[in-house]
Amino acid sequence: METHMAISYTTVAPKYCSIQKRPFIVPHHPITLGLSSAFKPILRAIPQIPLQIDASKTFTDIKTKFLNAVVDSAFEFVDQLVLPSQRNFAPVEELGEAVSITNIEGHIPDNFPEGFFIRNGPNPLFGGLKSSKSIFGRTNSVWVEGEGMLHTMYFRRQSDGSCTIVYHNRHVETVTYKLEKQSTKPLFLPAVKGDSLAVLFSMLLNWLRFGQLNKDYSNTNVFEHAGKLYSVSENHTPQEIDIFTLNTLKYWDVNGTWNRPFASHPKKVPGTGELVIFGVDATKPYLEIGIVSADGKELVHKVDIKLDRCSLCHDIGITKRYIAILDLPLIVDSNRLLRGGPLIKYDKEKYARIGTMPLYGDANSIQWFEVEPNSTFHFINSFEDDHEVVLWGCRALVSIIPGPEDGLNESTLFSRCYEWRLNMKSGEVKEKYLTGPEQFMDFPVINGSYTGIKNRYGYTQVVDPIASYAADIPKYGALAKLHFGEQCSEFSAGAPETQEEKFIKVEYHGFERNVFCTGSAFVPKEGGLEEDDGWIITFVHNEDTGISQVHIIDTKKFSGEAIAKITMPCRVPYGFHGAFMPISFFAQ
């Protein structure tokens, strides 16, 4: 791993980062859309488009000028509407250099590990997300789009035991980010949601001009493998990130062996350190799964799952022996565009199933289990229990991707904690809610040492329905600690008739009114003996004062006050997934 001796920084008083003044709208959900091969059937359906292009520089220049002229004359970029309740989704500028943090309420515990807390999220260029208007109709940017920006807190121990804290932010410099940054204006037409003809022609023009349907956002998650840090979203391969400078280094295609999109939630195999990766595409093969060696140098297994449709799968489960695969009815269908329908649609009338594939298995070794139709983006954990594979996840009845047409106005769009028990011998499925009918939550995290094995605790961000309806975007006004081994009778009266067991105990850490969190992570205590020995760390924003903070909550005293509230030197927009990664600065 490339390392540096130190992080240079300056000290500034807390204030807003400057932002570009154009309005926008971008919320925080874990999935972004690329699926470059979605254009292939559309190209086949429009044979009059010349696909064999002369490679000479002169012809290329003429073609580029012509296509740019078509876009400039036929399409108009329009700022998407932003509500006052959405102002902390607005982008911020890069700081340029790291900043020392001194405004701390409370204290950093002595056994809080050295390391860095990093969170990814959308930070769109040119002031915010855009729509486009043309003679073909209108297209809109999907609410999970926007160039990725990393927000990082470094915790470094000094010789006297005190803790120095430094903050830095930086855009993930993908190829398309650099292209638009150099151009100083939007180039890619929104090409996911809108009037079908406009979406089709936007995809076509993006493809002919840039060789891909949409921008590479890299805005959803961050993960570590073999000592290296990667930024990732669904629509492209990950980017390796320098841990200390946040410079974007290179795309990671596992030495040229992974040539398709790379989904946002790879999982490490318990005990081996191997990394299970997967990628969704809009043409066959719709879903492929791979296993990367523990040292990150080799793709040791790759398999086509042989799905019959492009199910938008954002997460997978892992146990010691199995990989759990979601095949749910949130479907990408480019042929549907040709019929005048949307590119992405949740169809609750279609089938839903979960597959269990042995590690190093193939499509023929998958055992499929039919389940109730649902929309699940995140697993809490998965493990084996005798003859059953048990999955805990955050399950909703309707998908909010690409976005509800009538706005965010019903609770069926929010997730509740759910359990599936898949009996590998009998083929039987048992499924039930784990939390009550008004306990909406998502973005789960656990103690990473328990990934793939049975755990007692999980942590989630809790939806504030009223604030979410007002903003038309999910907002999270509390944190929850899930006690899987304990039952709670408080909500048993709201359980469906088929629910035989009581809901699990849920402990809450609430924030003040109009204060919301994003990007939570679990930090294990150095020398901790129990699963919940540690802290939850999360970015928090107060919409009344405009102040952003990082809160550290003792998971043993979860409902109490945060033990540390670290005031940021500038506003930090809401984002997606976060992670804490221990590292020894002295060793560098």
Distance CA 28, CA 144 (A): 6
314 labelled binding-site residue: yes
Cβ–Cβ contacts within 10 Å for residue 293, how many? 17
Distance CA 160, CA 162 (A): 6
Task: Decide: 174 and 147 in contact? Cβ < 8 Å.
Answer: yes
Distance CA 253, CA 219 (A): 18
Task: Decide: 327 and 354 in contact? Cβ < 8 Å.
Answer: yes
Task: Decide: 462 and 441 in contact? Cβ < 8 Å.
Answer: yes
Distance CA 315, CA 232 (A): 13
Helix (H) or strand (E) holding 152, with range, is strand 149-157
- Sheet arrangement for strand 388-396: 375-385, 388-396, 416-423, 429-433
Q: In the numeric block, which tokens belong to residue 407?
A: 């706005």
541 labelled binding-site residue: no
Report phi then psi at 412, rounded to 5: -65, -15
Distances (CA, A) of 276 to 127, 272, 289, 480: 36, 11, 7, 28
Strand partners, 506: 482
Strand partners, 133: 76, 138
Cβ–Cβ contacts within 10 Å for residue 501, how many? 12
Q: In the numeric block, which tokens belong to residue 386?
A: 């005798």
- Give me the torsion for CA of 370, 376, 378, 383, rounded to 10°: -20
Cα–Cα–Cα angle for 532, 538, 540, rounded to 5 degrees: 140
DSSP 274: -
Nearest to 139 by CA among 69, 198, 183, 185: 198
List, in order, residues 6 or more apart from 288 with CB less than 8 Å away. 260, 278, 279, 302, 303, 304, 305
Q: Per-residue b/e over 464-476, b at no fewer than 16 CB within 10 Å?
A: bbebbbebbbbbb
Q: In the numeric block, which tokens belong to residue 400?
A: 């909010």
387 labelled binding-site residue: no
List, in order, residues 6 or more apart from 48 with CB less than 8 Å away. none
Strand partners, 420: 391, 431
Nearest to 245 by CA among 182, 174, 166: 166
Task: Decide: 395 and 374 in contact? Cβ < 8 Å.
Answer: yes
Residue type present at position 37: S
List, in order, residues 6 or more apart from 286 with CB less than 8 Å away. 280, 305, 307, 308, 309, 310, 311
265 labelled binding-site residue: yes
Looking up tokens 């699990």, which residue turns up?
504
For 466, half-sphere exposure in the C-beta direction (CA atoms, 13 angstrom radius) is 4
Task: List, as residue ranges, the binding site for Fe cation.
Answer: 265, 314, 378, 577
Annotated binding-site residue numbers: 265, 314, 378, 577
